[in-house]
Amino acid sequence: MRCLIRTIAAQKETLEYRDAEYVVSEISLGAAGDCTVHLEGRGVLPRHALITQRRDGRVQIKADGGAALLINDKPQRSAVLAKGDTVRIGQNLFTVIGAPFGFDLALSLAIEGAAQEADTLEFELGPMSLAEAGWSRRRWAWLCVLMVFSVGLILPLIWSLWPGEPEARPAHWPVTDNAWSSGPLHTAHRIPGLIDDCGACHEAPFVQVQDKACKNCHEIADHVARPEKAPAFANLDCAGCHREHNEPQTLVRMDEALCVDCHGDIAQHWPEKSALQNVADFDSHPEFTLSLLQQQVGTGDAAKGDANIEWKTERIPLNHPDLAEHSNLKFSHAQHLNADGIDGPDGTQVMQCADCHQPQQNGMLMQPIQMEQHCAGCHSLAFEATDPERQVPHGSPQDVLRSLEEYYARLYAIQGGPVESVHELSRPAQRPGKPPKSFYAAMKAWADERALEAATTLMEESACHSCHEVTVHADKKDASRWTVLPVKLTEVWMPKSRFDHGAHLQIECGECHQAAKSEKPTDVLLPDLKNCKQCHGGEGSNMKVSTGCVGCHGYHQTGIAKGQSQ
């Protein structure tokens, strides 16, 4: 049933008319908030009356429960409504008026005071359509088409094709080609040469901006490098994602549909075998895949103490049962993060994650761990008990042994012979002239012996042995006695995604990284997908941070589409 109700309200010395259209199966009248027409005043019940349409097309009103109706000033329980009938509910007076074309019923509603001031309630509504006004819709439709065609095409086209330079075009032309623009340029494109010349981007009339026009200013990294093997990608272009002249102004689409159009069914767009899985939103995201550094097969053998190791990056799922980081470092996070503290040079020290792990300035990655900056405060490289301030360099066995030899040779030269403690150093009077060769031979032999002894302690018992994998060749008496495997820590675990530590400062490190329980250096302490889903969800998720694809992934990833390892 389609019903029109005109409300008459008294406004000072005038009457105000408000029309409301209802397309419902029934119209409920009453004081309750869920009634179709809300009535106020004394004598109005929550559900007072119900208007319905009978099978014969006529409309009737019926009192609900014990309600009272005055129909044509007579108490009645129900009645079939006809033009001119009145229905009074409390102070509300309904009058049946002539229904416009297409309506089953039309009522005027007036409060008792307004009804008294109205000249008449039995009026005919004005025409509600062109047909009722006697106007031909076809004629007016063609007239509107011609107006739009002239204003939107002919006049702007004449202005845009005006001979000469753009400055020679009529300055006060009624309609310019600005009429074709759906909105202003983005602020990034409001520069000389673009803002005053549409042809700088729109090189051909009525043709979408082509990629070559974008490349005149932008260096573009192709998302797909092999469109010939996947025809579906041949239609990808800059303008498909970067929409100009749209408001609100944004050049980068952030909605999930941007990615899901292809990644929702990868096989349809990319016929080659792919390790990528279909994904519709973050809620259906597969487990994270890491870029983990691994020893290159066929290079130096770590088991045999060969330090000439080459590394490569392998993509490994975070839930892989054999996931492990083989960095050749001996380290226990649990030991360093002991709540009771650990012994340090200044006594017991309780360490925090931030003591070693500091984010880069952009908040995305962590700064590399440096022995001199993060470890040397506790892990001393001192070698001489009587000279604790002197330390060997953190380097190869050759560098360490050379430094020790130079140190002890200097002590011998100062003392003029062997010395047991730097505290015993004196400067005896030296006999003028060059020392005999036997002096230098004795100095070298003594310095080499003391250096080898100190290096053996460092490499095999204390500092180096504590953190590095050291292989000892007992038959050697020089730097080749030790092979120290190089330490290679993975610095970028997820190069195909973005993560901002700065946006997660309110979260404790331990809520995502279970470092306090890790005793093995091979443990990978990155949070898994389940951990992230505690706070993040897809665009339609409730009570979670809405996270679209571009919130973590970039589109222009140079080299990835070409198969380069990242």
**Any idea which of 262-271, 401-410, 417-426, 553-562 has the lowest mean pLDDT?**
553-562
> 199 near 161, Cβ under 8 Å?
no
Give the range with max mean pLDDT: 205-219, 289-303, 439-453, 485-499.
439-453
Last residue of a domain, which of 117, 139, 160?
Answer: 117
| 174 within a domain of the structure (yes/no) | no
In a domain, 34, yes or no: yes
Q: Tell me whether residue 320 is in a domain.
A: no
Q: With CA atoms as reference, report the closest residue to 251 among 281, 217, 286, 228.
A: 217
Among 56-70, 113-127, 546-560, which is the least confidently predicted range? 113-127
Local confidence band at 340 (pLDDT 50, 70, 90 cut-offs): very high
**Residue 42 is part of a domain; what is its CATH number?**
2.60.200.20
Whether 293 maps to a domain, the answer reads no
| Mean pLDDT value of segment 418-436 | 69
What is the per-residue pLDDT for 228? 56
Please report the pLDDT score of residue 298 as a whole number. Answer: 55
Of 117, 133, 158, the residue at which a domain comes to its end is 117
Q: Tell me whether residue 295 is in a domain.
A: no
Is this model's pTM higher than 0.85 or not? no
At 232, the pLDDT band (50, 70, 90 cuts) reads: low
Reported as a single tens digit per residue, the pLDDT across 511-529 is: 999 999 999 999 999 999 9
Which SS3 state, helix, strand or coil, does residue 531 take?
helix
- The model's pLDDT over 1-19, given as tens digits with 9 standing for 90+, comes to 889 988 887 766 677 788 8
Q: In this structure, is residue 125 part of a structural domain?
A: no
Q: How confident is the model at residue 566 (pLDDT cuts 50, 70, 90)?
A: very low
Q: Is residue 244 part of a domain?
A: no
Q: What's the whole-number mean pLDDT along residues 72-77?
A: 88
Domain end position, chosen among 68, 90, 117: 117
pLDDT of residue 408: 93
Smallest Cα–Cα separation from 5: which of 79, 105, 88?
105
Total domains, the chain: 2
pLDDT at 564 over 50: no
Element (H, E) at 454: helix 437-460
Residue that the structure tokens 């009570």 belong to: 543
pLDDT recorded at residue 19: 86
Question: Distance between CA 108 and CA 86 in Å, rounded?
Answer: 9
Average pLDDT, the chain: 82
pLDDT at 364: 80
Determine the pLDDT at residue 513: 93
CB 347 within 8 A of CB 377: no
pLDDT of residue 189: 87
Residue 565: the pLDDT is: 35
Q: Are 87 and 97 contacting, i.e. CB atoms less than 8 angstroms apart?
A: no
Structure letter (DSSP) for residue 366: B
Highest mean pLDDT among 115-129, 132-146, 255-269: 255-269
What's the pLDDT score for residue 546? 87
pLDDT at residue 119 tops 60:
no
Pick from 308, 315, 223: nearest CA to 262: 223
Q: What is the span of the domain harbouring residue 465?
A: 370-428+439-484
> What is the per-residue pLDDT across 431-473, written as a single tens digit (0 to 9) for each?
666 677 788 899 999 999 999 999 999 999 988 988 999 999 9
pLDDT at position 561, please? 40
Does residue 163 register a pLDDT over 70?
yes
Residue-wise pLDDT tens digits, 468-510? 999 999 999 999 999 998 888 988 899 888 888 888 888 999 9
Give the helix ranges, DSSP H, for 342-436. Answer: 397-415
Mean pLDDT, range 88-92, rounded to an integer = 88
Lowest mean pLDDT among 8-17, 39-48, 212-221, 462-471: 8-17
Residue 231 has a pLDDT of 62
Mean pLDDT of 154-165: 77
> Would 272 be classed as within a structural domain?
no
pLDDT in tens, 360-374: 887 788 889 999 899
Tell me what pLDDT residue 394 has.
93
Residue 118 has pLDDT above 90, yes or no: no
Residue 7 CB-density burial (10 A; 0-12 exposed, 13-18 middle, 19+ buried): middle
Residue 430: what pLDDT? 58
**Percent share of the chain, pLDDT over 70:** 85
Give, as one character, the DSSP assignment of residue 7: E
Number of C-alpha atoms within 13 angstroms, CB side, residue 466?
11
